[in-house]
Amino acid sequence: MRLALVLGEVGQGLRRNLSMVVSVVLVTFISLTFVGTAILLQAQINQMKSYWYDRAQVAVYFCTDFSSVGTCNQTAATPEQVAAVEAQLDSATLAPFIDAYYFEDRDQAFENFQTQFEGNAIASLVTPELMTEAYWVNLVDPTQSQILADALSGLAGVESVVDQRSYLDQIFDILNASSFTAIGIAALMLVAAALLIATTIRLSAFSRRRELGIMRLVGASNRFIQTPFVIEGVVAALIGSILAAGAVVAIVEFFVQGYLSQTLPQTSFVGLDDALLVVPVLLGVGALLAALSANVAISRYLRV
């Protein structure tokens, strides 16, 4: 009986304010799509970080006849100097941090270069003499590259010690910036959604002020008076949340999985399982936001 009455009131309110309800649906839809995208972007960044950081190596480059950087003086590193570096890598101080390492001589470097830049004009200009000898080191903990840099960069014949992660960090910075932009837009849109829900509920309450007055007069409990309005807001916001969830799942299914991972097969992308994890978050945020702002909006009508 009471449930039917409450639901009847909700239906009446939704119909009476249809245009406002549609705008609430649209604004929550857009804002929560941004929220979902931001969450997925963060997940993507973390996934790529853990994938690439594990593969990132530290390169110990040796001097060539052409370099004047570091300890180099336009003379190539001698085999003794290379051996000294290897001795350092094997020493008791550095060995515990190192997972594996290998030496890449000029010919190997040249070969790698040729395959990497195949078809590029630069490939034909480079000769093996221009290439740099290097030790490629995999660390046990990839974040501790500074130890290697400190220990080796002062040694004779070492041009530089480079952590590949420094290249990756630039890419991640860009991705992070776009993720934060999405979060910022999402936050602004959520504020707009909350205000719009509050306005809609206030409008709905105003159009029912006669009923509200009588309800208060005859002693309807506050909970009974406010429940239809809260449900009204939550229903509108939930429709928007469901649309947003659908949009997020569609983006992952058709754009990320259907297009991006076909184009860039080596990279691992967020999958449908990640998107499905985001769905309850979106529904929860939408419902909570609506319930809170509707509650605040209606409380004015309940004050004694």
Partner 1 sequence: MIRFDEVTKVYRGTAKPALNSVSLEVLSGEFVFMVGASGSGKSSMLRLVLKEDRPSSGAIHVLGQDLNRISSRKIPYFRRNLGVVFQDFRLLPNKTVFANVAFTLQVIGKSKGFIHEAVPDVLAMVGLEGKAERFPHELSGGEQQRVAIARAVVNKPSILLADEPTGNLDPTTSMGIMTLLERINANGTTVIMATHDAGIVDRLQRRVVELVGGRVVRDERGGGYVTQAIPHVQPDIVIPAAGPREGLR
* Binding residues vs partner 1 (CB under 8 A): 1-2, 5, 210-211, 213-222, 224-225, 304
Which is nearer to partner 1, 5 or 276 (by Cβ)?
A: 5
Which is nearer to partner 1, 121 or 218 (by Cβ)?
A: 218
Which is nearer to partner 1, 162 or 215 (by Cβ)?
A: 215
**Shortest Cβ 45–partner 1 spacing (Å):** 48
Which is nearer to partner 1, 96 or 219 (by Cβ)?
A: 219
- How does DSSP assign the chain, residue by residue? -HHHHHHHHHHHHHHHTHHHHHHHHHHHHHHHHHHHHHHHHHHHHHHHHHHHHHH--EEEEEP-TT--STT--SSPPPHHHHHHHHHHHHSTTTGGGEEEEEEE-HHHHHHHHHHHTTT-HHHHH--GGGS--EEEEEESSGGGHHHHHHHHTTSTTEEEEEETHHHHHHHHHHHHHHHHHHHHHHHHHHHHHHHHHHHHHHHHHHHTHHHHHHHHHHT--HHHHHHHHHHHHHHHHHHHHHHHHHHHHHIIIIIIIIIIHHH-TTS----HHHHHHHHHHHHHHHHHHHHHHHHHHHHTTT--
**Shortest Cβ 205–partner 1 spacing (Å):** 15
Which is nearer to partner 1, 213 or 284 (by Cβ)?
A: 213
**Shortest Cβ 293–partner 1 spacing (Å):** 22
Cα separation of 99 and 222, whole Å? 67
- What is the distance of C-alpha 207 from the center of its chain? 43
Single out the residue of 6, 26, 34 nearest to residue 200, CA to CA. 26
**Shortest Cβ 225–partner 1 spacing (Å):** 8
**Shortest Cβ 4–partner 1 spacing (Å):** 9
* Residues 293, 298, 301: CA angle, nearest 5 degrees: 160
Which is nearer to partner 1, 87 or 214 (by Cβ)?
A: 214
**Shortest Cβ 298–partner 1 spacing (Å):** 15
**Shortest Cβ 233–partner 1 spacing (Å):** 20
Which is nearer to partner 1, 2 or 300 (by Cβ)?
A: 2
Report residue 302 as tokens. 């309940």
**Shortest Cβ 295–partner 1 spacing (Å):** 15
Which is nearer to partner 1, 5 or 177 (by Cβ)?
A: 5
